[in-house]
Chain A
């Protein structure tokens, strides 16, 4: 029965999306989950856009993911979400059509979410479910609360959904354009109305997702979980305030030498005993690796880690297991981010019109190696569009930063795999390992 409903839902979604896509003048690829040849790569934090095909990986990512999905009975990525079938989202789809052809970043975000390319790591809900299954649940949880065939609790499935909703809401809210009167976007009269309308739709869609995720969370009837996940929302918003920003709020690195602090022995993390306490990020500013970690914990690791932790809370597992789950999610998210950050610097020349985040690991590492590069980045203070990305790309790949980034990725991959050893050996744990290994080889 549940399977049938899922299939129906997917069909509806496909129809809606095709209807949206066929109305657009964007390059249309066939909508398929196993679309191999023409890959688009996108990330939340580092806006990397590469149009090149990737060489076939040694560990097959698609296989790792689809096997994992089979294990927890989770229909392909985030597409199972009930919220996509609501009136409000149908409304948004209608309004989005008006924006097709405009330059509003919301269209880009929508496209990224719809094209379920293998590199988008939309599978956060999947990770949460795999961790749920790998962690198991307390013996006293009644049968009615379990999804026996998948080996997870219904509440954990709902939590996985909430995780994706919150993540998408952040992406959508992040595509709001700054239209303040002093900015370029705010002065451009010809596109102002489009931009303003796009902002409205983006803001409301994000709020819709946020509102519904808190309703879903409330229904889990576990206040510790509500507290934890709410703090992940806080971390997301805080992450957009760190460091210097251009007028569209794109992050810029600090001027080398701004901070004179000794590097800490271990990176900072949240206060385990009080989720309201924010990450003490000031302590690590200026240290490339630890600053990068902090930014990306707030931006990604927090939600994934806290969701994994919350999922074991729902299963009434020990505090210690919950801690392991948090650390697993955090390290996985960081390894993944390092992988994405490295990717664009692995090609000898930067594809046309491609950009990368100026606080991505390779840039920060290179800045440490050669502070003089800051002169090039400084030009982006008003808008990052003024930056010569090709030149920076060239400089960075000639230096040691890429190797350091790969090291960083390995460090977090190893940490994630080590934490995983605390979980009993099950098919779910194996699936998580496969996903990590496939990611390593991308």
Chain B
């Protein structure tokens, strides 16, 4: 009878795993850049559940130029009430530079971001993000009569975080609204609730992670588990989640609730994947990528998809939002795993090589295993023996593990940029491309 569940796991795990295995191998073999690029495209097609989307992306990779012409035509056909829109939403400097460069955009190859326009996503989203954390805290406070619960639940909503998730969510929301030509305040308000949800779920998972990992610091201040009773901290995590769910249920959209609930199941499954390390060397990279998707990328991908769903976008548009978020999320985590080896403690607000100390083998280590097979037994025993962490740290730096990780992250960012370009051009759509740059170039 036990085989019943095992076979289920195999059946649902294989396809994605095979795909990831495929890409993992390609990268580790150090093939030419071009081949990797095309393999990544293949991955995007295979993992996309939507038939229609598959067709368009296949087209785009086959014939970039045809697609470019189509985009340009599409842009010209749309009524471009640009001037007014930009004045409303942007600072003057951005407006000017954007309009000036407007025509040149279409003659460029879509391979890279448009660098001459420096859009700061945080500035163009100032309206939405300014009181973001205040709103989260107000919401959390309104749900309980117990001051201590309120304090613990609000602890990480101090405004010191990067607010990456709400920022990307709102950016995508506004880019989509522009694309769909529906920019009503009610819609933006609903999408902002989805952004609140993404940050709340993220925080709830941090709160629970703190109890699990027993770390003393996070974001440069004592972590919740150092300050409060672990039982209460656990309950505070549940509390944040329940308040976030109540808020989302009030949007009264069945589909949004379904999309967002996927985040929660993915998060926990990701955590469970992190528990075991029984997989063989071949499966390891696929396992790592799936885990990364579930723990980090799913949250961004599904939150972005939800902003499309609430805007009543077509499935293929929702899929663009989802895939953009998925790629940004994967790149973000890859860079995070890389920074764990290079950043200083002060920059990250947590100790370096933290992952190794927790027994986790992330991308840099897995890449380094190729060159230094002696790492394999250490990975299997989760760096538990004395000297393992130091030795692994050293070998990762001696290998090309960090460069390879960065390279893989870069691929995902480029894919995200390509996806963003499928949306109608707007400051927000440009912002989505800038975010990809921010993710790859961040130092903390």
Interface presence of B124 (CB below 8 A): no
Task: Name which of B1-9, B166-174, B369-377, B397-405 contacts chain A.
Answer: B1-9
Chain A residues closer than 8 Å to B271, beta-carbon distance: 204, 207
Interface presence of B262 (CB below 8 A): yes
Would you give the shortest CB distance from A224 to chain B, in whole angstroms? Answer: 8
Task: Name which of A151-159, A210-218, A332-340, A428-436 contacts chain B.
Answer: A210-218
**From B238, B251, B272, contact of A88 by CB (8 A):** B272
Contact A223 B235 (CB under 8 A): no
Interface presence of B142 (CB below 8 A): yes
Would you give the shortest CB distance from B282 to chain A, in whole angstroms? Answer: 20
Contact B231 A176 (CB under 8 A): yes
Contact B246 A223 (CB under 8 A): no
Chain B residues closer than 8 Å to A230, beta-carbon distance: 242-243, 245-246, 249
CA distance A253 to B81 in the complex (A): 66
A224: nearest chain-B partner, CB-CB: B249
**From B212, B232, B235, B267, contact of A211 by CB (8 A):** B267
Chain B residues closer than 8 Å to A180, beta-carbon distance: 225-226, 228-230
Contact A227 B246 (CB under 8 A): yes
Binary B-proximity of A196-221 (CB < 8 A = 1, otherwise 0): 10011001101110111011011101
Chain B residues closer than 8 Å to A8, beta-carbon distance: 1, 4
CA distance A275 to B148 in the complex (A): 20
Contact B1 A196 (CB under 8 A): no
A217: nearest chain-B partner, CB-CB: B261
In chain A, residues 216-271, which have Cβ atoms closer than 8 Å to a Cβ of chain B?
217-219, 221-224, 226-227, 230-231, 233-234, 236-238, 240-242, 245, 247-249
**From A211, A223, A227, A238, contact of B264 by CB (8 A):** A211
Contact B249 A223 (CB under 8 A): yes
Interface presence of B347 (CB below 8 A): no
A233 and B241 in contact (CB under 8 A), knowing A90-B2, A238-B149? Answer: yes
Contact B2 A12 (CB under 8 A): yes
Contact A282 B276 (CB under 8 A): no
**From B212, B226, B258, B262, contact of A200 by CB (8 A):** B212
Contact B253 A219 (CB under 8 A): no
Contact A276 B254 (CB under 8 A): no
Would you give the shortest CB distance from B155 to chain A, in whole angstroms? Answer: 14
Contact B145 A280 (CB under 8 A): yes
Chain B residues closer than 8 Å to A86, beta-carbon distance: 5
Binary B-proximity of A8-44 (CB < 8 A = 1, otherwise 0): 1001100110000000000000000000000000000
Binary A-proximity of B256-284 (CB < 8 A = 1, otherwise 0): 01101110110111011001100000000
A247: nearest chain-B partner, CB-CB: B229
Contact B5 A211 (CB under 8 A): no
**From A85, A221, A238, contact of B239 by CB (8 A):** A238
Chain A residues closer than 8 Å to B14, beta-carbon distance: none
Chain A residues closer than 8 Å to B4, beta-carbon distance: 8, 12, 85
Determine chain A's interface SS by DSSP, over half rule.
helix
A218 and B230 in contact (CB under 8 A), knowing A211-B264, A230-B242, A234-B143? Answer: no
**From A215, A221, A241, contact of B235 by CB (8 A):** A241
A177: nearest chain-B partner, CB-CB: B230
**From B1, B212, B269, contact of A203 by CB (8 A):** B212
A95: nearest chain-B partner, CB-CB: B275
Binary A-proximity of B212-233 (CB < 8 A = 1, otherwise 0): 1010000000000110111110
Interface presence of A281 (CB below 8 A): yes
Contact B212 A215 (CB under 8 A): no
Interface presence of A179 (CB below 8 A): yes
Chain B residues closer than 8 Å to A203, beta-carbon distance: 208, 211-212, 234
Contact A238 B225 (CB under 8 A): no
Of the candidates B212, B236, B252, the one having the most CB atoms from chain A within 10 angstroms of its own CB is B212
Interface presence of B162 (CB below 8 A): no
Interface presence of B84 (CB below 8 A): no
Chain A residues closer than 8 Å to B8, beta-carbon distance: 87
Would you give the shortest CB distance from A163 to chain B, in whole angstroms? Answer: 15
Contact B226 A12 (CB under 8 A): no
Contact A238 B245 (CB under 8 A): no
Chain B residues closer than 8 Å to A204, beta-carbon distance: 212, 268, 271-272, 275
Q: How many B residues touch A, CB cutoff 8 Å?
A: 56
Interface presence of A66 (CB below 8 A): no
CA distance A177 to B225 in the complex (A): 12
Interface presence of A178 (CB below 8 A): yes
Chain A residues closer than 8 Å to B115, beta-carbon distance: none
A221 and B272 in contact (CB under 8 A), knowing A211-B264, A215-B261? Answer: no
Of the candidates A91, A180, A277, A279, the one having the most CB atoms from chain B within 10 angstroms of its own CB is A180
B248: nearest chain-A partner, CB-CB: A226
In chain A, residues 64-113, which have Cβ atoms closer than 8 Å to a Cβ of chain B?
85-88, 90-91, 95
Contact B235 A173 (CB under 8 A): yes
A234 and B261 in contact (CB under 8 A), knowing A178-B231, A223-B254, A279-B145? Answer: no
Chain B residues closer than 8 Å to A91, beta-carbon distance: 272, 275-276
Chain B residues closer than 8 Å to A248, beta-carbon distance: 231
A237 and B145 in contact (CB under 8 A), knowing A88-B269, A207-B271, A219-B258? Answer: no
**From A169, A207, A219, A241, contact of B232 by CB (8 A):** A241
A237 and B242 in contact (CB under 8 A), knowing A11-B1, A88-B268, A215-B262? Answer: yes
Chain A residues closer than 8 Å to B242, beta-carbon distance: 230-231, 233-234, 237
Interface presence of A278 (CB below 8 A): yes
Contact B145 A240 (CB under 8 A): no
B274: nearest chain-A partner, CB-CB: A204
Would you give the shortest CB distance from B293 to chain A, in whole angstroms? Answer: 16
Contact A240 B231 (CB under 8 A): yes
Would you give the shortest CB distance from B373 to chain A, in whole angstroms? Answer: 28
**From A200, A215, A217, A237, contact of B149 by CB (8 A):** A237
Would you give the shortest CB distance from A62 to chain B, in whole angstroms? Answer: 27
The 10 A-B residue pairs whose C-beta atoms are closest, nearest first, are A230-B245, A211-B264, A233-B242, A226-B249, A241-B146, A218-B261, A237-B235, A227-B249, A234-B242, A237-B239
A-B contact pairs, 20 of them (CB 8 A): A8-B1, A85-B5, A91-B276, A173-B238, A199-B212, A199-B230, A204-B275, A210-B238, A210-B264, A226-B248, A227-B245, A233-B241, A234-B243, A240-B231, A240-B232, A276-B142, A277-B142, A278-B143, A278-B144, A281-B145
Known: A87-B5, A210-B238, A230-B246. 13 other contacts (CB 8 A): A169-B238, A170-B238, A174-B231, A178-B229, A179-B214, A204-B212, A206-B234, A226-B257, A234-B242, A237-B149, A237-B235, A238-B144, A280-B145
